[in-house]
Amino acid sequence: MIGGVLKSVDKPVLIAAGFIVVVLAIGSTINTSFISPTYLLQQLQVASFLGIISSGMMLVILLGQIDLSLPWTVTTGAMMATAVAQFGPWGVALAIPVGLLCGLVVGIVNGLGYAYLRVPSMIFTLGMNALLLGLMVLYSGGFAPLTRATPLMQFLAVHKSFGIPNALFVWSAVTLALAVMLRTTPFGRYVYAIGNRESAAYLSGVRTRQVIVGCFAINGVTSALGGVMLAGYSTNAYQGMGDAYLLPAIAAIVLGGTSILGGKGQYIGTVVGVLLIVLLQSMLSVMQMPEAGRQIIYGVVIVVMLLVYGRGAKVHS
């Protein structure tokens, strides 16, 4: 049974999981409370935010594309949700849907820009990020908005049910939905097909442009969901709250064995990659390493891990 599960998982995912054990072992020698259930649950809660944000990005990376508008999509989702929350009971009820809707719109525009205008996604989403930044600066007047997160947002992000953080349930739900979609639905197959060779997928009858827009749209929604959760966690939305998530999200996805060129990668790998990144960051902060040393070790560890299992093939012809 266990052997069968292990066989169905890609080798990079297993190695990344092995690295998690190494990080936990090193962490526990520095401070024994590093592997206490309370601390680990807290880490899982922190990981939920990165996990949710990385989930949609993984679809985009599987297509062989990238979304650099992620930081301000996160912030836009958070700011719009808390803004709507100020308008009476209806506003409170609609806060999360409106936040997610904003993310959906951003994602669809990104998808249209790449799929139909064929502007390279890296550069189109870069422009989109600047546009969102402009819109949010205009909306907030350049200050942190005085709006507050709704009780539901705080419930999802901070509170616990049955001793387990609710954020973890949200992450699990997103994970389950996307993992099942990628594995069992035609849409999921199309994502891999397009990532491998879009022209072949197109000639096989896949409506590649719709699939691409769909992936970017899902990414917009999960980014905004991450923003809504983060706003709930810190009770308000603020400028640049998404900035710290773009590079860790990409790193987590790649460390989880997904090819940055697209077409290859398992969803479970992204979950493992997110846990690895979060535990690595928390181990470095438990070591009371100054910021400079943390950055250096963080970068070196990523390079070393990729040298172990993320190397590309030699180009011979």
Does residue 120 bind other proteins (CB under 8 A)? yes
Does residue 296 bind other proteins (CB under 8 A)? yes
Q: How far are the Cα atoms of 112, 149, 153, 215, 269 from residue 105, in angstroms, in the given order?
A: 11, 21, 21, 12, 28
Does residue 10 bind other proteins (CB under 8 A)? no
Does residue 116 bind other proteins (CB under 8 A)? yes
Rounded to the nearest whole angstrom, what is the least distance from the CB of residue 182 to other proteins in the complex?
21
Rounded to the nearest whole angstrom, what is the least distance from the CB of residue 74 to other proteins in the complex?
15
Tokens for 104?
């959906």
Piece in contact with other proteins (CB under 8 A), picked from 28-36, 95-103, 121-129, 275-283: 121-129
What track of x and - describes contact with other proteins for positions 140 through 169 (by CB under 8 A)?
A: -xx---------------------------
Does residue 260 bind other proteins (CB under 8 A)? yes
Does residue 292 bind other proteins (CB under 8 A)? yes
Does residue 91 bind other proteins (CB under 8 A)? no
Q: How far are the Cα atoms of 23, 97, 187, 270 from residue 265, in angstroms, in the given order?
A: 23, 30, 15, 9
| DSSP classification of residue 265 | -
Does residue 88 bind other proteins (CB under 8 A)? no
Burial (CB count <10 Å: 0-12, 13-18, 19+), residue 152: middle
Question: Could you tell me the sign of the dihedral formed by the alpha carbons of 237, 241, 246, 251, in that order?
Answer: negative
Number of residues that bind other proteins (CB under 8 A): 63
CA–CA distance, 115 with 190 (Å, rounded to integer): 14
**Is the CB of 56 or the CB of 248 nearer to other proteins?**
248
**Is the CB of 157 or the CB of 201 nearer to other proteins?**
201
3-state secondary structure of 164: strand
**Is the CB of 232 or the CB of 269 nearer to other proteins?**
269
| DSSP classification of residue 313 | P
Contact 125, 111 (CB under 8 A): no
Does residue 187 bind other proteins (CB under 8 A)? no
3-state secondary structure of 149: coil
Does residue 186 bind other proteins (CB under 8 A)? no
Find the binding residues for other proteins in span 219-248 (CB under 8 A). 240, 243, 247
Does residue 294 bind other proteins (CB under 8 A)? yes
CA–CA distance, 199 with 208 (Å, rounded to integer): 9
Rounded to the nearest whole angstrom, what is the least distance from the CB of residue 33 to other proteins in the complex?
27
Angle (deg, nearest 10), helices 246-255 and 37-62: 90
Does residue 288 bind other proteins (CB under 8 A)? no
How many C-beta atoms surround the C-beta of residue 89 within 10 A? 7
Judged by the rule CB under 8 A, the positions of this chain that interact with other proteins are 66, 68, 113, 116-120, 122-124, 126-135, 137-138, 141-142, 197-199, 202-203, 208, 240, 243, 247, 250-251, 254, 259-261, 290-300, 302-303, 306-307, 310-317
